[in-house]
Structure 1
């Protein structure tokens, strides 16, 4: 209900209601579709759910919502903290035993991602470049760690992956790749876009 109330308030003040509506629809799809049920069985599906929220829904919401985000460095730091926190084995496992933890994980990641995207969209080019590179790097490190870990790290998926033809380790590796490649590529691309914008702004002065 709190999420609906915030979106309703955002709708009244939104400078881009199409983006807000699209972002809200993607949030609902990620959290209420069969993908959510699949995420109970597969770690890779949970990562796909998170990537849909932070890489697709969040930038749309950032465009659609009129809000003041923290600075790009602060937003990037908060996003990194939330991403690593909810993919550590203990907090991750907690989301399977507590509805409060489940909602907290998804909503804190989403809010942190919206802040990050808002900050990147309005930051100075050099600040957006730095935040984009840092975000791409930290997502890549976490994804690589999950991909190359020698053993499964997540007890909730110890016996849930076999019906899908995956071992728990293979499922974890797939989730790591989903985080490593799409997340790293997107934020690296954003960093390059910031460089291009900086060069365009510097051209008249030259």
Structure 2
């Protein structure tokens, strides 16, 4: 694709930054900041009224949302597909489970485990299809549709895991680990770069578009897929812990 076409990409997080200006590229979109503040205030009010919740998990999830959308990671994801993969991993494999296990169960709509696994997988694969991904980096509406699709289906998935039995939940996590790892492997071993928005923006960071894509694939293949495996092992391990019997 000619450079003049690539230069027309206008992602929500702004044009791709140069490495030297990255530290200054905080996203101070007032609508985003207001939405995050309203969500935080809503949770605080819920707790003051006696509602259930795990404050530490919810606070950590909120911090990860700030890192994902407000910090310079947002701008970096306009330049590097590997930064975008990191952003997505933080959303679906870190912030989503923290919210799913930190908020009251009724706060997230219930779905059976199998449909939740399928919906989450569909969102991951669809939004990493080159055409839809390019659309998300050329339209604010498409960008937020991508974020809502990934985070929303991840919340449904982790909430279904929380509600499911140990074996069913572990199986759902294992299936998700496999399909996430497969997507990462396909990106890692692709013979050419697939994502037009990053064909000209990676060189300033010392990476070719293909090397950047391979790094993104490794992020999805190892740490992101590994998060699902660790969660499955933790679920099974907790179920095998000896039951403490209170003294008579």
Per the normalisation by structure 1, the TM-score is 0.89
Deviation, structure 1 residue 144: 0.1
Cα deviations by residue, 1:106-158 (Å, 9 ceiling, x for unpaired): 12211211222222223101111210110000000000000000000001111
Give, in whole Å, the separation in 2 of the partners of 1:10 and 1:57: 15
What residue in structure 1 maps to residue 179 of structure 2? Answer: 138
In structure 2, the partner of 1:26 is 64
For 2:6, the equivalent position in structure 1 comes to none
Bigger fraction of residues in helix:
1
How far off is 1:200 after superposition? 5.0
147, 153, 160: which is aligned to 1:112? 153
**Match in the other structure for 2:200:** 159
Determine the C-alpha separation between the residues in 2 that align with 1:8 and 1:86: 31
Q: Quick check: 1:41 aligned with 2:79?
A: yes
Q: How does 1:1-206 map to 2 (within 5 A)?
A: 3-4=35-36, 5=38, 8-11=41-44, 12=46, 13-66=51-104, 67-68=107-108, 69-200=110-241
Gaps of 5+ in 1: none
What number of residue pairs does the alignment pair up?
202
Task: Tell me how far 1:22 sits from its aligned partner.
Answer: 2.1
Shift of 1:179: 0.5
Which one has the largest radius of gyration?
2
Q: Within 2, Cα distance between the matches of 1:96 and 1:73?
A: 31
Deviation sequence 1:41-99 (CA, Å, 0-9, x none): 10000000111111221121112222243122222111111111111000100011110
RMSD of aligned alpha carbons: 2.1
- Structure 2 residue runs of 5 or longer lacking an equivalent are 1-30, 244-248
